[in-house]
Structure 1
Amino acid sequence: MNDLKAKAPVIVGITGASGIELATATIDLILSLNLNVVLTISSAGRMVWKEEIDESYGEAIERWAESGRFNVNQIGDLGAQIASGTYPTLGMAVVPCSMATVGALASGLADNLIRRAADVTLKEKRPLVIVPRETPLNAIHLKNLTELAIAGATILPPQPAFYLRQKTTAEVVDYIANRTVNALGLTDQLPSRMRYGNESEENGY
Protein backbone atom coordinates (compact mmCIF):
# COMPACT_ATOMS: atom_id res chain seq x y z
CA MET A 1 0.00 0.00 0.00
CA ASN A 2 1.46 3.38 -0.99
CA ASP A 3 1.62 6.32 1.43
CA LEU A 4 -1.32 8.16 -0.16
CA LYS A 5 -3.65 5.19 0.08
CA ALA A 6 -2.55 4.54 3.64
CA LYS A 7 -3.32 8.10 4.77
CA ALA A 8 -5.94 9.61 2.44
CA PRO A 9 -9.51 8.92 3.57
CA VAL A 10 -12.55 7.68 1.76
CA ILE A 11 -15.47 10.06 2.21
CA VAL A 12 -18.88 8.59 2.98
CA GLY A 13 -21.93 10.84 2.77
CA ILE A 14 -25.24 9.69 4.23
CA THR A 15 -28.38 11.53 3.12
CA GLY A 16 -32.02 11.18 4.12
CA ALA A 17 -32.89 8.39 1.70
CA SER A 18 -33.88 4.98 3.02
CA GLY A 19 -31.09 2.43 3.26
CA ILE A 20 -28.92 3.31 6.25
CA GLU A 21 -27.66 -0.28 6.48
CA LEU A 22 -26.04 0.20 3.08
CA ALA A 23 -23.98 3.02 4.56
CA THR A 24 -22.99 1.25 7.76
CA ALA A 25 -21.97 -1.88 5.86
CA THR A 26 -19.90 0.21 3.45
CA ILE A 27 -18.09 1.97 6.30
CA ASP A 28 -17.48 -1.35 8.05
CA LEU A 29 -15.99 -2.79 4.88
CA ILE A 30 -13.73 0.19 4.17
CA LEU A 31 -12.39 0.14 7.73
CA SER A 32 -11.78 -3.61 7.44
CA LEU A 33 -9.43 -2.80 4.55
CA ASN A 34 -7.35 -0.66 6.97
CA LEU A 35 -8.34 2.52 5.15
CA ASN A 36 -9.42 5.82 6.67
CA VAL A 37 -13.00 7.08 6.56
CA VAL A 38 -14.47 10.56 6.93
CA LEU A 39 -18.24 10.56 7.43
CA THR A 40 -20.68 13.39 6.96
CA ILE A 41 -24.39 12.86 7.48
CA SER A 42 -27.40 15.10 6.95
CA SER A 43 -30.03 15.79 9.60
CA ALA A 44 -32.51 13.81 7.51
CA GLY A 45 -30.02 10.95 7.44
CA ARG A 46 -29.92 11.00 11.25
CA MET A 47 -33.73 10.84 11.34
CA VAL A 48 -33.88 7.87 8.97
CA TRP A 49 -31.13 6.15 10.98
CA LYS A 50 -33.40 6.07 14.05
CA GLU A 51 -36.17 4.45 12.04
CA GLU A 52 -34.17 1.76 10.26
CA ILE A 53 -31.51 0.17 12.45
CA ASP A 54 -31.13 -0.86 16.08
CA GLU A 55 -27.56 0.38 16.60
CA SER A 56 -27.78 4.06 17.49
CA TYR A 57 -25.82 6.68 15.59
CA GLY A 58 -23.73 7.40 18.69
CA GLU A 59 -22.96 3.73 19.22
CA ALA A 60 -21.84 3.32 15.61
CA ILE A 61 -19.62 6.40 15.81
CA GLU A 62 -17.95 5.08 18.97
CA ARG A 63 -17.43 1.66 17.42
CA TRP A 64 -15.87 3.08 14.26
CA ALA A 65 -13.74 5.56 16.22
CA GLU A 66 -12.09 2.64 18.03
CA SER A 67 -10.36 1.78 14.74
CA GLY A 68 -8.34 5.00 14.92
CA ARG A 69 -9.09 5.55 11.24
CA PHE A 70 -12.48 7.25 11.44
CA ASN A 71 -13.60 10.87 11.68
CA VAL A 72 -16.88 12.76 11.40
CA ASN A 73 -17.34 16.17 9.79
CA GLN A 74 -20.54 18.09 10.47
CA ILE A 75 -22.84 18.65 7.50
CA GLY A 76 -22.62 22.44 7.84
CA ASP A 77 -18.83 22.60 8.15
CA LEU A 78 -17.89 23.94 4.73
CA GLY A 79 -14.45 24.74 6.11
CA ALA A 80 -13.66 21.05 6.61
CA GLN A 81 -10.64 19.62 4.81
CA ILE A 82 -12.80 17.45 2.54
CA ALA A 83 -14.38 20.63 1.15
CA SER A 84 -11.10 21.47 -0.58
CA GLY A 85 -9.70 19.88 -3.70
CA THR A 86 -6.19 20.29 -2.31
CA TYR A 87 -6.98 17.73 0.39
CA PRO A 88 -6.23 14.26 -1.03
CA THR A 89 -8.91 11.58 -0.74
CA LEU A 90 -9.46 8.17 -2.30
CA GLY A 91 -12.93 9.13 -3.48
CA MET A 92 -16.44 9.37 -2.09
CA ALA A 93 -19.58 7.29 -1.80
CA VAL A 94 -22.95 8.92 -1.21
CA VAL A 95 -24.89 6.03 0.25
CA PRO A 96 -27.82 6.12 0.39
CA CYS A 97 -28.31 9.11 -1.90
CA SER A 98 -31.61 10.99 -1.93
CA MET A 99 -33.06 12.45 -5.11
CA ALA A 100 -32.73 15.90 -3.54
CA THR A 101 -28.97 15.36 -3.29
CA VAL A 102 -28.84 13.91 -6.81
CA GLY A 103 -30.63 17.00 -8.12
CA ALA A 104 -28.34 19.36 -6.23
CA LEU A 105 -25.19 17.62 -7.47
CA ALA A 106 -26.46 17.58 -11.05
CA SER A 107 -27.01 21.34 -10.78
CA GLY A 108 -23.63 22.06 -9.24
CA LEU A 109 -25.22 23.12 -5.94
CA ALA A 110 -22.77 22.74 -3.05
CA ASP A 111 -24.62 24.18 -0.08
CA ASN A 112 -23.68 21.55 2.51
CA LEU A 113 -20.64 19.39 3.14
CA ILE A 114 -21.97 16.26 1.42
CA ARG A 115 -22.73 18.22 -1.73
CA ARG A 116 -19.51 20.23 -1.58
CA ALA A 117 -17.34 17.15 -1.02
CA ALA A 118 -19.07 15.34 -3.89
CA ASP A 119 -18.62 18.37 -6.15
CA VAL A 120 -14.92 18.48 -5.25
CA THR A 121 -14.59 14.75 -5.90
CA LEU A 122 -16.02 15.23 -9.39
CA LYS A 123 -13.89 18.24 -10.27
CA GLU A 124 -10.74 16.51 -9.06
CA LYS A 125 -11.71 13.44 -11.13
CA ARG A 126 -11.67 11.12 -8.15
CA PRO A 127 -14.09 8.19 -7.87
CA LEU A 128 -17.61 9.25 -6.89
CA VAL A 129 -20.17 6.50 -6.31
CA ILE A 130 -23.82 7.45 -6.03
CA VAL A 131 -26.13 4.83 -4.49
CA PRO A 132 -29.59 6.26 -5.25
CA ARG A 133 -32.58 5.10 -3.22
CA GLU A 134 -35.85 5.84 -4.98
CA THR A 135 -38.41 3.92 -6.99
CA PRO A 136 -40.02 4.42 -9.38
CA LEU A 137 -37.83 7.05 -11.01
CA ASN A 138 -39.38 9.92 -12.92
CA ALA A 139 -37.87 11.68 -15.92
CA ILE A 140 -36.29 14.38 -13.74
CA HIS A 141 -34.55 11.77 -11.58
CA LEU A 142 -33.25 9.98 -14.66
CA LYS A 143 -32.04 13.23 -16.23
CA ASN A 144 -30.17 14.21 -13.07
CA LEU A 145 -28.57 10.78 -12.73
CA THR A 146 -27.54 10.94 -16.38
CA GLU A 147 -25.90 14.32 -15.80
CA LEU A 148 -23.89 12.88 -12.93
CA ALA A 149 -22.86 9.86 -14.98
CA ILE A 150 -21.71 12.16 -17.78
CA ALA A 151 -19.73 14.19 -15.22
CA GLY A 152 -17.89 11.04 -14.15
CA ALA A 153 -19.87 9.58 -11.26
CA THR A 154 -20.69 5.89 -10.99
CA ILE A 155 -24.41 5.34 -10.49
CA LEU A 156 -24.85 2.19 -8.42
CA PRO A 157 -28.49 1.37 -7.67
CA PRO A 158 -28.74 -1.04 -4.73
CA GLN A 159 -30.18 -3.92 -6.71
CA PRO A 160 -29.88 -7.53 -5.54
CA ALA A 161 -27.87 -10.04 -7.55
CA PHE A 162 -30.71 -12.52 -8.00
CA TYR A 163 -28.43 -15.08 -9.63
CA LEU A 164 -26.61 -15.43 -6.30
CA ARG A 165 -29.88 -16.56 -4.70
CA GLN A 166 -29.34 -14.34 -1.70
CA LYS A 167 -31.74 -15.31 1.05
CA THR A 168 -31.57 -12.42 3.52
CA THR A 169 -31.50 -8.64 3.52
CA ALA A 170 -28.09 -8.83 5.18
CA GLU A 171 -26.68 -10.73 2.20
CA VAL A 172 -28.04 -8.12 -0.20
CA VAL A 173 -26.60 -5.30 1.92
CA ASP A 174 -23.22 -7.05 2.03
CA TYR A 175 -23.28 -7.42 -1.74
CA ILE A 176 -24.09 -3.74 -2.34
CA ALA A 177 -21.39 -2.63 0.10
CA ASN A 178 -18.84 -4.76 -1.74
CA ARG A 179 -20.00 -3.39 -5.10
CA THR A 180 -19.67 0.15 -3.75
CA VAL A 181 -16.15 -0.40 -2.42
CA ASN A 182 -15.13 -2.10 -5.65
CA ALA A 183 -16.54 0.78 -7.72
CA LEU A 184 -14.42 3.17 -5.66
CA GLY A 185 -11.36 1.22 -6.80
CA LEU A 186 -10.49 0.09 -3.28
CA THR A 187 -10.58 -3.62 -4.18
CA ASP A 188 -9.48 -5.39 -7.34
CA GLN A 189 -12.55 -7.60 -7.58
CA LEU A 190 -15.57 -8.84 -5.69
CA PRO A 191 -15.19 -11.75 -3.27
CA SER A 192 -15.49 -15.07 -5.08
CA ARG A 193 -18.82 -15.82 -3.41
CA MET A 194 -20.29 -12.76 -5.13
CA ARG A 195 -19.06 -13.44 -8.64
CA TYR A 196 -21.27 -14.94 -11.32
CA GLY A 197 -20.56 -18.56 -12.12
CA ASN A 198 -19.87 -19.79 -8.61
CA GLU A 199 -22.08 -22.53 -7.25
CA SER A 200 -24.50 -21.46 -4.54
CA GLU A 201 -22.88 -23.88 -2.11
CA GLU A 202 -19.53 -22.21 -2.66
CA ASN A 203 -20.65 -18.62 -2.39
CA GLY A 204 -22.53 -19.22 0.82
CA TYR A 205 -25.81 -17.87 -0.46
Structure 2
Amino acid sequence: MNARLPLPARPRIVVGISGASGFVYGVRLLELLRELDVETHLVVTRSALLTMAHETDYKMSDVVALASYHHRSDDMAAGIASGSFRALGMIVAPCSMKTLAEVANGTSSTLLTRAADVTLKERRPLVLLARETPLTLVHLRNMQAVTEMGGIIAPPVPAFYARPETLSEMVDHTLGRVLDLFGLDAGTALRWGEAARAPRARVDHSPTEKEIV
Protein backbone atom coordinates (compact mmCIF):
# COMPACT_ATOMS: atom_id res chain seq x y z
CA MET A 1 0.00 0.00 0.00
CA ASN A 2 1.30 3.45 -0.90
CA ALA A 3 2.11 5.76 1.99
CA ARG A 4 -0.44 8.54 2.26
CA LEU A 5 0.80 12.09 1.87
CA PRO A 6 -0.17 14.52 4.63
CA LEU A 7 -3.31 16.53 3.92
CA PRO A 8 -3.20 20.31 3.59
CA ALA A 9 -3.62 22.24 6.84
CA ARG A 10 -7.12 23.26 5.76
CA PRO A 11 -9.28 20.24 4.82
CA ARG A 12 -10.47 20.04 1.22
CA ILE A 13 -13.50 18.35 -0.30
CA VAL A 14 -14.43 18.16 -3.97
CA VAL A 15 -18.11 18.91 -4.54
CA GLY A 16 -19.86 17.82 -7.73
CA ILE A 17 -23.36 18.86 -8.76
CA SER A 18 -24.89 16.85 -11.59
CA GLY A 19 -28.20 17.10 -13.41
CA ALA A 20 -30.48 15.06 -11.15
CA SER A 21 -33.34 16.71 -9.31
CA GLY A 22 -32.24 18.19 -6.00
CA PHE A 23 -29.92 21.04 -6.94
CA VAL A 24 -30.46 22.49 -3.48
CA TYR A 25 -28.47 19.62 -1.96
CA GLY A 26 -25.32 20.82 -3.67
CA VAL A 27 -25.89 24.45 -2.74
CA ARG A 28 -26.62 23.71 0.89
CA LEU A 29 -23.61 21.39 1.05
CA LEU A 30 -21.37 24.26 -0.03
CA GLU A 31 -22.90 26.46 2.67
CA LEU A 32 -22.31 23.89 5.39
CA LEU A 33 -18.73 23.23 4.32
CA ARG A 34 -18.01 26.94 4.31
CA GLU A 35 -19.36 27.17 7.88
CA LEU A 36 -17.01 24.32 8.81
CA ASP A 37 -14.06 26.14 7.18
CA VAL A 38 -13.54 23.35 4.64
CA GLU A 39 -11.95 24.32 1.32
CA THR A 40 -14.32 23.33 -1.49
CA HIS A 41 -13.56 22.60 -5.12
CA LEU A 42 -16.77 22.79 -7.12
CA VAL A 43 -17.61 21.32 -10.51
CA VAL A 44 -21.10 21.61 -12.01
CA THR A 45 -22.25 19.72 -15.10
CA ARG A 46 -24.13 21.35 -17.96
CA SER A 47 -27.24 19.31 -17.14
CA ALA A 48 -27.13 20.62 -13.58
CA LEU A 49 -27.49 24.15 -14.92
CA LEU A 50 -30.82 23.15 -16.48
CA THR A 51 -31.97 21.66 -13.18
CA MET A 52 -30.89 24.81 -11.36
CA ALA A 53 -33.03 26.94 -13.68
CA HIS A 54 -36.09 24.69 -13.25
CA GLU A 55 -35.89 24.14 -9.50
CA THR A 56 -34.39 27.31 -8.02
CA ASP A 57 -33.96 31.04 -8.41
CA TYR A 58 -30.17 30.77 -8.17
CA LYS A 59 -27.78 32.09 -10.76
CA MET A 60 -24.51 30.31 -11.38
CA SER A 61 -22.66 33.27 -9.86
CA ASP A 62 -24.57 32.68 -6.60
CA VAL A 63 -23.40 29.09 -6.44
CA VAL A 64 -19.81 29.80 -7.43
CA ALA A 65 -19.62 32.45 -4.68
CA LEU A 66 -20.22 29.72 -2.09
CA ALA A 67 -17.24 27.62 -3.21
CA SER A 68 -13.59 28.21 -2.48
CA TYR A 69 -12.71 27.25 -6.05
CA HIS A 70 -14.79 26.58 -9.16
CA HIS A 71 -13.71 24.38 -12.06
CA ARG A 72 -15.43 24.17 -15.45
CA SER A 73 -16.87 20.76 -16.21
CA ASP A 74 -14.78 20.57 -19.42
CA ASP A 75 -11.49 21.57 -17.76
CA MET A 76 -9.77 18.21 -17.72
CA ALA A 77 -6.49 19.92 -16.78
CA ALA A 78 -7.85 21.09 -13.42
CA GLY A 79 -6.02 19.98 -10.30
CA ILE A 80 -8.89 17.79 -9.11
CA ALA A 81 -8.42 15.63 -12.23
CA SER A 82 -5.16 14.30 -10.79
CA GLY A 83 -4.51 11.86 -8.01
CA SER A 84 -1.75 14.16 -6.78
CA PHE A 85 -4.44 16.63 -5.66
CA ARG A 86 -4.91 15.95 -1.96
CA ALA A 87 -8.41 16.05 -0.48
CA LEU A 88 -10.55 14.32 2.13
CA GLY A 89 -12.70 12.97 -0.69
CA MET A 90 -15.58 13.92 -2.94
CA ILE A 91 -19.34 14.34 -2.67
CA VAL A 92 -21.69 14.43 -5.67
CA ALA A 93 -24.93 16.08 -4.59
CA PRO A 94 -27.16 15.24 -6.30
CA CYS A 95 -25.88 12.41 -8.47
CA SER A 96 -27.76 11.63 -11.69
CA MET A 97 -28.01 8.13 -13.11
CA LYS A 98 -25.82 9.22 -16.04
CA THR A 99 -23.11 10.36 -13.67
CA LEU A 100 -23.50 7.16 -11.65
CA ALA A 101 -23.13 5.10 -14.82
CA GLU A 102 -19.95 6.91 -15.85
CA VAL A 103 -18.42 6.45 -12.41
CA ALA A 104 -19.41 2.78 -12.31
CA ASN A 105 -17.83 2.12 -15.70
CA GLY A 106 -14.80 4.38 -15.46
CA THR A 107 -15.99 6.63 -18.28
CA SER A 108 -14.75 10.14 -17.61
CA SER A 109 -16.44 12.41 -20.11
CA THR A 110 -16.49 15.42 -17.76
CA LEU A 111 -14.26 16.78 -15.02
CA LEU A 112 -16.87 15.68 -12.47
CA THR A 113 -16.65 12.01 -13.39
CA ARG A 114 -12.87 12.22 -13.83
CA ALA A 115 -12.56 13.65 -10.30
CA ALA A 116 -14.80 10.86 -9.01
CA ASP A 117 -12.65 8.25 -10.78
CA VAL A 118 -9.54 9.78 -9.23
CA THR A 119 -11.15 9.72 -5.80
CA LEU A 120 -11.84 6.00 -6.13
CA LYS A 121 -8.40 5.09 -7.45
CA GLU A 122 -6.74 6.99 -4.61
CA ARG A 123 -8.95 5.10 -2.12
CA ARG A 124 -10.58 8.24 -0.79
CA PRO A 125 -14.24 8.48 0.24
CA LEU A 126 -16.60 9.09 -2.68
CA VAL A 127 -20.21 9.72 -1.69
CA LEU A 128 -22.91 9.82 -4.35
CA LEU A 129 -26.33 11.21 -3.45
CA ALA A 130 -27.99 9.10 -6.12
CA ARG A 131 -31.34 10.65 -7.02
CA GLU A 132 -33.82 8.55 -9.01
CA THR A 133 -36.96 6.50 -8.49
CA PRO A 134 -38.04 3.88 -9.36
CA LEU A 135 -34.70 2.19 -9.99
CA THR A 136 -33.98 -0.07 -12.95
CA LEU A 137 -31.74 -3.11 -12.79
CA VAL A 138 -29.04 -1.10 -14.58
CA HIS A 139 -29.20 1.57 -11.87
CA LEU A 140 -28.89 -1.05 -9.15
CA ARG A 141 -25.98 -2.78 -10.88
CA ASN A 142 -24.17 0.51 -11.27
CA MET A 143 -24.69 1.22 -7.56
CA GLN A 144 -23.32 -2.20 -6.74
CA ALA A 145 -20.28 -1.61 -8.95
CA VAL A 146 -19.49 1.71 -7.28
CA THR A 147 -19.94 0.16 -3.84
CA GLU A 148 -17.60 -2.70 -4.72
CA MET A 149 -14.99 -0.11 -5.75
CA GLY A 150 -15.24 1.57 -2.36
CA GLY A 151 -17.73 4.32 -3.12
CA ILE A 152 -20.73 5.08 -0.93
CA ILE A 153 -24.24 5.36 -2.36
CA ALA A 154 -26.25 7.71 -0.13
CA PRO A 155 -29.71 8.40 -1.60
CA PRO A 156 -31.15 11.60 -0.09
CA VAL A 157 -34.06 9.99 1.75
CA PRO A 158 -35.73 11.80 4.68
CA ALA A 159 -35.44 10.61 8.27
CA PHE A 160 -38.93 10.96 9.64
CA TYR A 161 -37.86 10.20 13.22
CA ALA A 162 -36.37 13.71 13.16
CA ARG A 163 -39.91 15.04 12.56
CA PRO A 164 -38.89 17.57 9.91
CA GLU A 165 -41.30 20.44 9.45
CA THR A 166 -39.73 21.93 6.33
CA LEU A 167 -37.93 20.81 3.21
CA SER A 168 -34.89 22.69 4.50
CA GLU A 169 -34.76 20.52 7.61
CA MET A 170 -34.89 17.37 5.46
CA VAL A 171 -32.02 18.65 3.34
CA ASP A 172 -29.96 19.63 6.38
CA HIS A 173 -30.42 16.27 8.08
CA THR A 174 -29.37 14.35 4.97
CA LEU A 175 -26.28 16.47 4.44
CA GLY A 176 -25.40 16.27 8.12
CA ARG A 177 -25.33 12.49 7.85
CA VAL A 178 -23.26 12.68 4.66
CA LEU A 179 -20.68 14.90 6.35
CA ASP A 180 -20.55 12.41 9.23
CA LEU A 181 -18.87 10.07 6.73
CA PHE A 182 -15.94 12.51 6.57
CA GLY A 183 -15.74 13.00 10.33
CA LEU A 184 -17.34 16.45 10.05
CA ASP A 185 -20.17 17.47 12.37
CA ALA A 186 -22.33 20.13 10.73
CA GLY A 187 -24.74 20.15 13.67
CA THR A 188 -27.70 19.57 11.35
CA ALA A 189 -28.40 15.88 11.94
CA LEU A 190 -30.74 14.88 14.75
CA ARG A 191 -29.20 11.68 16.06
CA TRP A 192 -31.32 8.75 17.16
CA GLY A 193 -31.83 8.72 20.90
CA GLU A 194 -30.74 12.31 21.41
CA ALA A 195 -33.07 14.99 22.67
CA ALA A 196 -34.56 17.26 20.06
CA ARG A 197 -32.67 20.47 19.60
CA ALA A 198 -33.95 23.93 18.84
CA PRO A 199 -34.08 24.49 15.09
CA ARG A 200 -31.13 26.23 13.47
CA ALA A 201 -31.57 29.95 12.98
CA ARG A 202 -31.36 29.74 9.19
CA VAL A 203 -33.72 27.48 7.31
CA ASP A 204 -34.31 29.51 4.14
CA HIS A 205 -31.85 28.32 1.48
CA SER A 206 -32.46 31.14 -0.98
CA PRO A 207 -29.29 33.24 -1.52
CA THR A 208 -28.90 36.23 0.75
CA GLU A 209 -27.47 39.55 -0.34
CA LYS A 210 -24.29 38.79 1.58
CA GLU A 211 -23.83 35.45 -0.19
CA ILE A 212 -24.35 36.91 -3.65
CA VAL A 213 -21.88 39.76 -3.24
Same-fold call, TM > 0.5? yes
Alignment match of 2:193 (pick from 190, 197, 200): 197
Alignment match of 2:120 (pick from 98, 119, 122): 122
Do the aligned partners of residues 192 and 129 (structure 1) sit closer, same or farther apart at CA in structure 2, a change above 3 Å counting?
closer
Deviation string for 1:9-41 (max 9, x for gaps)?
Answer: 210011100001111111111111111000000
After superposition, residues 131-146 of structure 1 pair within 5 angstroms as: 131-146=129-144
CA contact (8 A) 1:38 1:71 kept: yes
Residues of 1 paired with 2:7 and 2:34: CA distance?
16
TM-score (norm 2): 0.86
Which position in structure 2 is the counterpart of 1:34? 37
Residues of 2 paired with 1:102 and 1:50: CA distance?
22
How many residues were matched structurally?
Answer: 195
Q: Which runs of 5+ in 2 are unaligned?
A: 1-5, 201-213
Do the aligned partners of residues 115 and 192 (structure 1) sit closer, same or farther apart at CA in structure 2, a change above 3 Å counting?
closer
- Compute the RMSD of aligned alpha carbons: 1.8
Which position in structure 1 is the counterpart of 2:158? 160
Using the aligned pairs only, state the percent identity: 36
Shift of residue 192, structure 1, vs aligned partner? 7.9
CA contact (8 A) 1:90 1:127 kept: yes
CA contact (8 A) 1:122 1:151 kept: yes
After superposition, residues 72-151 of structure 1 pair within 5 angstroms as: 72-151=70-149
Q: Which runs of 5+ in 1 are unaligned?
A: none
Shift of residue 53, structure 1, vs aligned partner? 1.5
Secondary structure of the corresponding residue to residue 38 of structure 1: strand
Shift of residue 58, structure 1, vs aligned partner? 1.1
CA contact (8 A) 2:36 2:186 kept: no
Do the aligned partners of residues 192 and 94 (structure 1) sit closer, same or farther apart at CA in structure 2, a change above 3 Å counting?
closer
CA contact (8 A) 1:12 1:92 kept: yes
CA contact (8 A) 1:5 1:35 kept: no
Shift of residue 182, structure 1, vs aligned partner? 1.5
Residues of 2 paired with 1:23 and 1:75: CA distance?
15
